[in-house]
Structure 1
Amino acid sequence: MKKCLLSIDWDYFIYTQKNNWGLYSENKRSLIDLWYKRYIQAKAHGEDIQNEFNVSSELDIFWNKIKRYFKFEKNMKVYVSDSHALSYIIAKENDCQIVYLFDSHSDLGYGGLASLNYEVNCSNWLGKLLKDKYIKEAYIFYSPHTAEKPEYFKHINRIYNVKYCDFSDLSNLDALIIVSAVHICRSGAWTPPWLDDKFIQFINALGFPYKMVDCPERKWDIVHISLADQINYLTS
């Protein structure tokens, strides 16, 4: 039986009118400082950035839907991190040959096949798993709010076994999908810190013990931002 990794990005549930915030390195600046900068800049224009981000109603029913089609092994390992790049290590170390990904992004690599020659990062980990032959199949379930399209990755799609699916496709399965490991990532450069409480609630709703890996707490306090703090955020 092939081992399966179920990998879920928190941004699958987050949507905003500003569909593309761009590409960022995953560091303290992008995880928290940049969010304060965005907040301050928006406030200067009379806007509250906190009102621009919403959580999908699917959040409350997601795990129930998952359990209709996926069966969790008794000793299944669950990991929580900020970066989705950890899925590369999880799949490799747990000998997973299949990945089911729920995400707003494919993480196959951006920039064609050449992007798979770079070191593993949050934007190419799935493509690297395929290229390095650690997995044989990848099933991508895009968020309903994604701005991506499968044809953006046509060169990778031609070479590797990548399928783009939705929940309705799972109804045709003859048996439940056995899951050996689950990874839930926050992708803090793209998901706002004021929703982190909901992120933790989502993790706990799975009902399994989990290992937290490099997912620092983000304190969001817009009431006590000093002038010096504002200057630092704006110039960072």
Structure 2
Amino acid sequence: MRLLVVDFDYFFPVPQDPKDPLAPLYAWAHFETPYYLGEVWEERALAFLLRGLPLPHAQGGEGFWERFAFAEGTVLYYADSNALAFHPEVREGVEEVVLFDAHHDAGYRPLGGEPACDDWMVFYARQGARLRAFYPSWRDPSLEPEPVVPVERVKDPEGPVEGIFQRVFLCRSGAWVPPWADEAFFAFLEAAPLPKVALEAVTRRPLDLEGLRRRVREEALGLTLLERIRGLK
């Protein structure tokens, strides 16, 4: 059984060079908690908007599913967290995992007793599965720590992917991918030519972008008034 796993953060480029002037805007802590899945994105959006910068968006998902061949009866399971890639319905009988992700998810810290979003690949290794990870073109694999289990890691060469897949898992990774990219995620999910099963609730996250833009305009007006007052002194 071959399992294809796709993390949507694969399609959300972030600066790789710490000297990039935009890099500080992406210096995000990542925890799969309600705050980091939702509320924190308001201040992250404001960091761009207050500087007059466009919000970053997901890109490159068009035509992705056409690269793969699927066996008859293949089901796509989806969730927000990549930890559910090791869900009992997903992992049963899996002998090979092919991952498309900005991270190898094969261990970055001491392992817990249950799979987490950053170490679920280790649990597949323990059940004897072969592991392959394809990084997006924008991602530098050398920036990642070495996996704690053997994983074949390469940059995605793009084009058709060899072999046939019997199962698929897709995650949104809402702690890495912002709410303003949710529409792109659901469009990507819908484009997959497979029956779909949700392993947890994955809904569009509320984010009042117009309200944030009003705040930005108010901040700009306040700064203008302050500058005028200072100029009178």
Identity of aligned residues (%): 25
**C-alpha displacement of 1:150:** 7.6
Whole-Å Cα distance in 1 between the matches of residues 63 and 77 of structure 2? 21
The structure with the largest strand share of the pair is 1
Structure 1 gaps of 5+ residues are 228-236
Change (3 A) 1:95 1:21: farther
**C-alpha displacement of 1:118:** 4.8
Contact persistence 1:150–1:164 (CA under 8 A):
no
- Pick one of 75, 81, 89 that aligns with 1:83: 81
Change (3 A) 1:82 1:152: same
Compute the RMSD of aligned alpha carbons: 2.8
Task: Work out which of the two has the higher radius of gyration on C-alpha atoms and give 1 or 2.
Answer: 2
Q: Could you say which residue in structure 2 is the equivalent of 1:11?
A: 9
Q: Could you say which residue in structure 2 is the equivalent of 1:110?
A: 108
Are 1:139 and 2:125 matched, yes or no? no
- Pick one of 48, 55, 60 that aligns with 2:58: 55
Q: Could you say which residue in structure 2 is the equivalent of 1:232?
A: none
Q: Give CA-to-partner distance per residue, 1:72-110, whole Å, 9 cap, x none.
A: 121112111110000112576421011000000010111
Q: Give CA-to-partner distance per residue, 1:168-226, whole Å, 9 cap, x none.
A: 4988x9xx422121111100111111111111111111121201232232122222469
Contact persistence 1:79–1:212 (CA under 8 A):
yes
Are 1:219 and 2:206 matched, yes or no? yes
Change (3 A) 1:101 1:91: farther
Which 10-residue stretch deviates more, 134-143 or 217-226? 217-226
Q: Could you say which residue in structure 2 is the equivalent of 1:234?
A: none
Whole-Å Cα distance in 2 between the matches of residues 8 and 108 of structure 1? 15
Whole-Å Cα distance in 2 between the matches of residues 91 and 150 of structure 1? 33
Change (3 A) 1:151 1:210: closer
Q: Could you say which residue in structure 2 is the equivalent of 1:46?
A: 51
Q: Could you say which residue in structure 2 is the equivalent of 1:230?
A: none
SS in 2 for 1:101: strand
Change (3 A) 1:84 1:105: same
Q: Could you say which residue in structure 1 is the equivalent of 2:96?
A: 98
**C-alpha displacement of 1:36:** 0.9
Q: Could you say which residue in structure 2 is the equivalent of 1:153?
A: 146
Contact persistence 2:75–2:167 (CA under 8 A):
yes
Whole-Å Cα distance in 2 between the matches of residues 169 and 222 of structure 1? 34
Contact persistence 1:140–1:162 (CA under 8 A):
yes
Whole-Å Cα distance in 1 between the matches of residues 184 and 47 of structure 2? 25
SS in 2 for 1:15: coil
- Pick one of 154, 171, 175 that aligns with 1:165: 154
Q: Give CA-to-partner distance per residue, 1:102-150, whole Å, 9 cap, x none.
A: 0000101113xxx2345311011112321xx224210000112224428
SS in 1 for 2:62: helix
Instruction: Give me the TM-score of the superposition, normalised by structure 1.
Output: 0.75
AA aligned to 2:119 is N
Q: Could you say which residue in structure 1 is the equivalent of 2:37?
A: 31
Whole-Å Cα distance in 2 between the matches of residues 121 and 92 of structure 1? 15
SS in 1 for 2:82: coil
Q: How many residues align?
A: 205
Q: Could you say which residue in structure 1 is the equivalent of 2:229?
A: none
AA aligned to 2:145 is Y
Q: Could you say which residue in structure 2 is the equivalent of 1:128?
A: 123
Change (3 A) 1:146 1:52: farther
Change (3 A) 1:190 1:21: farther
Structure 2 gaps of 5+ residues are 16-22, 216-233
Q: Could you say which residue in structure 2 is the equivalent of 1:186?
A: 172
Instruction: Give me the TM-score of the superposition, normalised by structure 2.
Output: 0.76
